Copies of this chain bind each other. A is one copy, B any other.
Amino acid sequence: MSDREDDPRLPDDLDERKARILRSIVADFVANGQPVGSSRVVDSAGLNVSSATVRNEMAALEERGYIDQPHTSAGRIPTDKGYRAFVDLLEVGGLDARRAELIDELLGSARDAEDLMLRASGVLAQLTHLVALVVAPTMDEARCKLVELVTLTPSSALLLLVDDTGRVVRRMVDIDQQVSESDVSRVRAVLAEHVLGRRMPAVHDAVGQLVEQSPAELRPIMRAVHTATAADVAVELVRRVYVGGQAALAGDEGIERTALSRLLELLEERTTLARVLDDTAGTSAAPLARIGAEHDVEDLRHTSMVSQRYEVVRSGSLGVLGPTRMDYGSALSTVRAVSEALERTLAGLAGAERTD
């Protein structure tokens, strides 16, 4: 092995030169979308060997499953395994100053936590030309900063819960009888006393206890509030997925019409996507890729996802989705940059005074 840049973690069945050729093929194919032949590799890989030698190496790469031929006399295109090896060997670089500034600028002027998520997905889409996904942080650790009950009709009200990053949970409270405004006020006061400062997931149980302690005339209201705060209150915003730049999918010729339609459905449905994004991001602090057939979800088998978990007390994840033939280098570094910027901004929003 040469002493210059022999990657420490080359797969067993790849030597330095094969890896270099693979890298060259992936880069070329990602850039041009055409199967790449041995002579192109000679030009672009900067190897001092002939195309015949490269052909021999390519035959080996094909035999080992890293690249494939669309037909007998065509150039090679990377397989999912090829992309995987390419990504594993990739060093995730930083972003150039202009992009980094753009991210900070856009995220910095967000109006609130939700707006921030929206902006993050926007800038991610804009920089990568891929579909951007941002899953809002869980509320597990968030504390309740405000609880309010607004009567809308004599027998219904709106329950508002606000957490310490300014996110709002809104719930219709249907009471099965008409109630007086003064009773509602009393409930409001009781709620404020016992719910403020609690962790969001604990709100439901806290209200449950209040139901029993309440005088009879308040009980119907309190019970309705209890129902309204059922378990999913804490989860609601976890599963909230912000999607940006989906038009990019339609522009990609590599995706079939029917597959495109399925993908758009997935994007609209959102819950599956949130799960995949979380799964792909894993627990690591670095951006990770899930490539083609590595997906469990059938409809994603021709796409890749690059995502990363971000964490500021509570954690969420964000990433991009695109064809397997995507620019992984750019995707990885952009996802990382946006993720880190989001962490910084979110920390600022939540306030530095948090102690626990």
Q: Which residues of A line the B interface, CB within 8 A?
A: 110-112, 114-115, 145-146, 148, 150-154, 156, 158, 160, 162, 164-166, 168, 170-172, 244-251, 253, 257-258, 260-262, 264-265, 268, 349-353
Q: State how many copies of this chain the complex holds.
A: 2
- The listed residue (B112, B150, B158, B265) touching A172 by CB distance below 8 A is B112
Contacts A153-B349, A245-B268, A247-B264 given; 14 further ones with Cβ under 8 A?
A: A110-B172, A111-B172, A112-B158, A115-B172, A145-B150, A145-B152, A152-B165, A152-B349, A154-B353, A158-B166, A244-B268, A247-B268, A251-B258, A251-B261
State the CA gap A250–B257 with chains docked (Å). 6
Count chain B CB atoms within 10 A of each CB in A115, A151, A260, A350 and give the residue with the most: A260
- The listed residue (B153, B258, B265) touching A353 by CB distance below 8 A is B153
Give, as a whole number of angstroms, the nearest-CB distance from A96 to chain B.
26
List the B side residues contacting A145 at CB < 8 Å: 150-152
State the CA gap A110–B172 with chains docked (Å). 9
- The listed residue (B148, B164, B245, B264) touching A148 by CB distance below 8 A is B148
Q: Are B111 and A171 in contact (CB under 8 A)?
A: yes
Q: Are B257 and A253 in contact (CB under 8 A)?
A: yes
- The listed residue (B146, B154, B158, B247) touching A150 by CB distance below 8 A is B146
List the B side residues contacting A248 at CB < 8 Å: 261
- The listed residue (B114, B170, B172, B246) touching A264 by CB distance below 8 A is B246
Give, as a whole number of angstroms, the nearest-CB distance from A110 to chain B.
8
* Sample (8) of A-B pairs whose CB atoms are under 8 Å apart: A112-B170, A145-B152, A148-B160, A152-B165, A160-B160, A249-B264, A250-B250, A250-B257
